[in-house]
Structures are given as structure tokens and as C-alpha cells.
A and B are shown apart, each in its own frame.
Chain A
């Protein structure tokens, strides 16, 4: 058996899946509320249940991830945020070549850190999008405290953010679950480790960093 490399710690993994679960519930129940077709297919009972799910799932969606990020392992959160905002030439080169790889082409992708450029974009969209969804959602929920124009703007922002994050997550889920090149990444989110080969091939810069850390520690 080959060596395994630790990629995500327990807090990151739980936060990731909690976010996935609650976002999934909110996305599906939200689609029901905002498309007449699905709503009329489900009937009044289905709509009422969707509304209830949307309200209930919203609470942990807003609370769980930020709480885990700030109080779980804040050190990793800090590193993660730092990573998201450090962009080099290799990241842009990676992005420009990634499309070909996505559709099954053979390309040499430039070396990446713990997160590749696409994962960084996914994370950034997630943070901004989920933040906007939470704020606009709260405005719509507690509409008594806001002016009509604020509420109307919140409706528009809520839907724009939901569609953007939804699109990102559909792509993200495909890459993690089905894409032949990146399936191994799923293990990183389940038991926290990825194979040494995967780390070396897909996240070269990060892998070398880990090796160096390890050898200096010895």
C-alpha cells in the first residue's frame, strides 16, 4: 500500500459535509419555491413541506460552518483563507488549461498548492455566495424590520447567489464524485488523506512543502 498524505483535518471535513448537506436541502427546497412548474407538480402539501425544510435548514446553514471555522481549528481556517487570496502565474496557467482536461483531453497542468485554482474559485464563490445568501435570506425572513426596496433587492440577490453557488457546486460535485482525474480527492474529504501519487501529481507544490516540513522535523 502506498503512503497516504493528510490533506484535510476533521473540522474541515465535518464543516464541508455539513455545508454540503444544508446547502443541498436549501437549494432543492428553494427551487420548489421559485419555479412554478415544480410547485404545481408537488401540490400545496409539497410546497408547505419545502417551505418548512427551507426555514429549518437555513438555521444550521447560517450557523454551523462559521462557528466551526472560527472555533474548531482557527489555524487551518486562517491558512485556508490565506491560500484563497494568494494567486500566482501558475494558477492562471492552470485555469486556462483546465477546460481541456475537464472534457477528457490530455494536458500538463502546472503545479498547484493544497488547493488548485479551480478549488480556490469554488471556495471563494462559496464564501461570498453563502454570505450573501445568509444576509439576504435573513432580510426576507425578518422583513418587518426592513424597507420594501431593501426586501426587493434581497430577493434578487438571494436568487443570483443561489444560482451562482448552485452552478459551482454542480461542477464541484461532478469533479469530486465522477471525474476520473480527480476522484481520489474524495478520499481527502472522507478520511482526510489522499494517496502520495495523487498529491504529487495534482498538488505538487503542496506535496513538496509537506515533504520538506517532514524532513526538517526529523
Chain B
């Protein structure tokens, strides 16, 4: 288990971008491929217009689609619960970009490799919380120990309820649970938000069906050709 997961409270996020700034500063994130990005959505709700801001980055899924589709094993689900990529192995095929249900794998045109949040692996190894959580002025993005996450979420939900806001916990129920969880408004569909995103049905078809069949087929043909070559050569010698 990692020391910290993250809880994002959409009801209190101001959209100030200090998390994205801290992330960029801490991780030397290349230009144009933010690991963390603050989304802004203005929606008309029953009481008028409401604005939602929230930071989006890798959610570190329990069953990550990106790791599933990566043909060279450059993305792995670690025992500490985080999803990590190995830039040395990445061949830049972009498969993970379309596989991520949340669109959080991004392509760096300079290095020709995929980029994403690593949940501040180095900081966590030193026992420090992820950089994005440190400078949040309103604790909308909080570092929370994964086993304390539900408890903290309920505490927060009770507070938002008092303000008359209906929020609910999204922690990746449909993607095997996520290390980064969100408190999201109920009955509001945020286009860039985490809820309602599903793993595509085509994820796994290549890996579990096509690749083994193709390997067996190609191997079979090569084997048949080799056998035929030997048999025919032997026949020629006999004659």
C-alpha cells in the first residue's frame, strides 16, 4: 500500500491551479503534456448556472486499461497501488492514449513517448505527500491514506450536505477502484469529470484473443514451412 492516495472535493475546488503548478514544478513536466490539469465546466442546473472546477490527472486505476493494452509492458500496476510507466520501454505507439477512459495518458511529441502522473513516487518514497496536495489553499485536493479514504470522504460529504449540496463519492467502482477518488455532484454530468467513464469493450480483445491466436497462427505456418522444407529436401536427396 502506498502512504497516500488522493481525495478531490469538487465542491470546494476554486480552480486556482496551484495543484497543477506544484505538479509541474515538482516533476519537471514537459510543456503541453500536463500530468495534472484543472478543468472548468459551466453548467446550467435547476437553480441557474453553476461553475465546477476540478483537477484531473491519472486516477491510478485498480484495473488500468493503459497497462492492459501496452504492447511492450511499459505501464505496470505496482504493488503499492500506483500505475507507473517506464519511459525506457515506451515505444510511443499511443495505444494507451485511446485506451484510458479518463483521457489522462498524453503524448509528448518531443520525446515521442506517453506521459502521465506517477503520484509523486519519489516524494512518497521519502514519506512526503504528493506535491499537488501540498499547496491547495482550500484542501480540495487532499493526500489521504488509502485505508482512511472512505472515512474522510464521509466526513466531507456530511459537511457539504449541511451546505445543501448533494455530492457523492467516486472511487473508480467500474475500473477496479482508484487511488485518486473524487467527491462529485450528484445528478450533474461533468464532461471532463471522472464519473460515468467506462473501460472500452475493445480493451483486452487484442491482448487476450488476437495476440495469442496470431502468435499460434504465425508459429504454425513457420513450423509447417520448416517441416515441408526438410521433407522435400530429403526427398530430393533420395532421388
Spell out A's residues near B (CB within 8 Å): 32-36, 39-40, 44, 47-48, 51, 102-104, 140, 143, 148-149, 151-153, 155-156, 159-160, 162-164, 166-168, 170-171, 174, 178-180
Chain A residue, CB-CB nearest to B217: A167
Given contacts A156-B206, A174-B229, 5 further A-B contacts (CB under 8 A): A149-B202, A155-B98, A163-B214, A167-B218, A179-B228
Contact B89 A164 (CB under 8 A): no
Considering the chains assembled together, what is the distance between the CA atoms of A71 and B13 in angstroms?
63
In angstroms, how far is the closest chain A Cβ from the Cβ of B132? 26
Contact B73 A171 (CB under 8 A): no
Spell out B's residues near A (CB within 8 Å): 69, 71-74, 88-89, 91-95, 97-99, 103, 112, 200-203, 205-206, 210-211, 213-215, 217-218, 220-222, 224-225, 227-229, 231-232, 234-236
Considering the chains assembled together, what is the distance between the CA atoms of A163 and B225 in angstroms?
16
Name the 10 nearest CB pairs between A and B, nearest first: A163-B214, A36-B72, A104-B231, A151-B98, A152-B202, A167-B221, A148-B98, A174-B225, A156-B206, A104-B232
In angstroms, how far is the closest chain A Cβ from the Cβ of B95? 6
Choose one: A148, A159, A170; the contact of B221 (CB below 8 Å). Answer: A170
Chain B residue, CB-CB nearest to A169: B221
Considering the chains assembled together, what is the distance between the CA atoms of A39 and B86 in angstroms?
13
Choose one: B69, B95, B215, B229; the contact of A178 (CB below 8 Å). Answer: B229
**Chain A residues with CB under 8 A of B217:** 163-164, 167
Choose one: A34, A40, A160, A170; the contact of B222 (CB below 8 Å). Answer: A170
Considering the chains assembled together, what is the distance between the CA atoms of A160 and B212 in angstroms?
10
Contact B228 A51 (CB under 8 A): no
With contact pairs A156-B202, A166-B218 given, residues A36 and B228 touching in the complex (Cβ less than 8 Å): no
**Chain B residues with CB under 8 A of A44:** 88
Chain B residue, CB-CB nearest to A43: B88
**Chain B residues with CB under 8 A of A162:** 214
In angstroms, how far is the closest chain B Cβ from the Cβ of A185? 15
With contact pairs A140-B94, A149-B200, A164-B217 given, residues A36 and B205 touching in the complex (Cβ less than 8 Å): no
Contact B71 A36 (CB under 8 A): yes
Considering the chains assembled together, what is the distance between the CA atoms of A141 and B153 in angstroms?
42
**Chain B residues with CB under 8 A of A48:** 112
Choose one: A33, A153, A159; the contact of B91 (CB below 8 Å). Answer: A33
With contact pairs A33-B91, A103-B231, A104-B235 given, residues A152 and B99 touching in the complex (Cβ less than 8 Å): yes
Contact B232 A179 (CB under 8 A): yes
**Chain B residues with CB under 8 A of A103:** 227-228, 231-232
With contact pairs A51-B112, A104-B232, A179-B232 given, residues A171 and B89 touching in the complex (Cβ less than 8 Å): no
**Chain B residues with CB under 8 A of A35:** 71-72
